[in-house]
A and B are shown apart, each in its own frame.
Chain A
Amino acid sequence: MANVPEDLHYSKDHEWVRVDGDQAIIGITDYAQNSLGDVVYVELPKAGDEFAANEPFGSVESVKAVSEVFTPIAGAVVQINESLADEPEIVNSDPYGQGWMIRLKMANPGEVDSLLTAAEYEDFTKAESE
């Protein structure tokens, strides 16, 4: 069973969002990393890049496949997780912690309320894997 922490917001594209003041930290869920398999490469944007909600901000590659990652909310990148360049496998081992991807200055902090709660996301992944 995939791990779905209570205190995060989720998207149907399998990203999570952790709110930190007017900033948001974004990564991919345990369910997503597990479906992808061993992550061997993570492509991230540059600090300063701006994204609209649901826009792809980078990609995650396993041995077999490439998947785009989307930001569920709009904002400007203030920081990226540099350590994923050398250790992309952290996305597998610690998707909600050391495996975070980008930190955004939210354009519209209210936007997170439209995302899925942990319970809703869990139901969503159950339905998807059936």
Chain B
Amino acid sequence: MVDFGGWDMPVQYPAGTIEEHLRTRTHAGLFDVSHMGEIDVRGPDAIAFVNRLTSNDVRKLIDGQAQYTALTTPEGTIIDDLLVYRLAADHLLLVVNAGTTDKDWEWIKSHHSGESVELNNISSDYCQIALQGPDAESILQTLTDVPLAEIKYYHFTPGSVDGVQGIVSRTGYTGEDGFEVYAPADRAEQLWNKILDAGKTGTPTGVLPCGLAARNTLRLEAGMALYGNDIDETTTLLEANLGWICKLDKGDFIGRDSLARQKEEGVQRKLVGFEVTERGIARDHQDVLIDDECVGQVTSGSPAPFLKKNIGLTYVPVAHANVGQQIQIDVRGKLVGAQLVKTPFYKRAK
């Protein structure tokens, strides 16, 4: 167990990180992500309020749809990345990272001015269980009457799972198809055990409980940024390749002017993916060199169990941010060769 944003979380379960990772890619993995924060926004100005604090366009959502977005500083850097769920025109749910929940909550409250909204930090009321992988739909369907096949990617529906009323969302952080179930916190154990049973855990192709380490390797293979590693308050959305959640034409929002200026002038550095081409594993915080000069640090570095490669993310000067660019990683004093590759490293077959 490790401390993760104040939560005691398992790094891995008995099967081990590699097996957990592979099972999620080939069958199904179950993740207890109850540590994620939930902030409830209700009132006639809910959409206008959240739209002013986040970079994506909340007005584009319909009821039952979710959106990946960011809370931004006036400089266009990232306070947090999050999902916005539209339950109704006057009711949004923000799902934020565990380690940033308190910071986000303070930020959101302090930027509430005239809008007619009621804000509630309901993080401790909810559990969140993520069932991910190609078998996720068939497993979860045995426990719910909600027609899961009808839920499109990044959509959700209120519904009950094993008799527990909650939200069933077709979202995830693994690069696989799958669902995230939000339910009252005191039903977490019931849902966890029922899904493991329904997924025939313990059999060679059954669902495996997965820890934080597999969650990290899965998201990294899928090229998804991790807050605190790859993105934070020193990186802008444009540098982090998150221009697609940056809707500069939606009207004003915090950070818009800075981002518009940066878009016009161009970014100095860019978040890129690399693959180690020599023997060695790149790890977080190691120096990255181009032509013998240190240009930055590895923001995420790890073995990729499904791809069977050693991969990572780093910021490099934009002049070098091209696929095929050779770089070197300082792996505990030894320079190890790597080259920039396209991200996502892994893309599931549709």
6 further contact pairs, Cβ within 8 A, besides A40-B18, A63-B305, A66-B281: A38-B16, A38-B18, A38-B19, A63-B302, A64-B11, A66-B332
- A38 and B17 contacting across the interface, CB-CB below 8 Å: yes
Q: Which B residues lie within 8 Å of A37 (CB)?
A: 12, 16-17, 213
**Chain A residues closer than 8 Å to B19, beta-carbon distance:** 38
Which 7 pairs of residues, A with B, have the shortest CB-CB distance?
A63-B17, A64-B213, A38-B18, A40-B303, A38-B16, A37-B16, A63-B303
Within 8 Å of chain B (Cβ to Cβ): is A61? yes
Contacts of B217 in A (CB 8 A): 63
User: CB of B35 within 8 A of chain A?
Assistant: no
Residue interface mask A34-51, B partner, CB < 8 A = 1: 000110110100000000
Q: Which of A72-87 contact B (CB under 8 A)?
A: 85
Kindly state whether residue A93 has any CB partner on chain B within 8 Å: no
Chain B contacts to A: CB under 8 angstroms? 11-12, 16-19, 21, 213, 216-217, 279-281, 283, 302-303, 305, 332
Contact B281 A61 (CB under 8 A): yes
Q: Does A23 contact B (CB under 8 A)?
A: no
C-alpha spacing A64/B279, complex, angstroms: 17
Proximity string of chain A (111-124) to chain B, C-beta cutoff 8 Å, 1 when within and 0 when not: 00000000000000
Shortest beta-carbon distance from B226 to chain A in Å: 14
Instruction: Kindly provide the distance from the CB of B326 to the nearest chain A CB, expressed in whole angstroms.
Output: 21
**How distant is the Cα of A62 from the Cα of B283 in the complex, in angstroms?**
11
Pairs A–B under 8 Å by Cβ, sample size 27: A37-B12, A37-B17, A37-B213, A38-B16, A38-B17, A38-B18, A40-B18, A40-B281, A40-B303, A41-B280, A41-B281, A41-B303, A59-B332, A61-B281, A61-B303, A62-B17, A63-B17, A63-B217, A63-B305, A64-B11, A64-B12, A64-B17, A64-B216, A66-B281, A66-B283, A66-B332, A85-B279
Chain B residues closer than 8 Å to A38, beta-carbon distance: 16-19
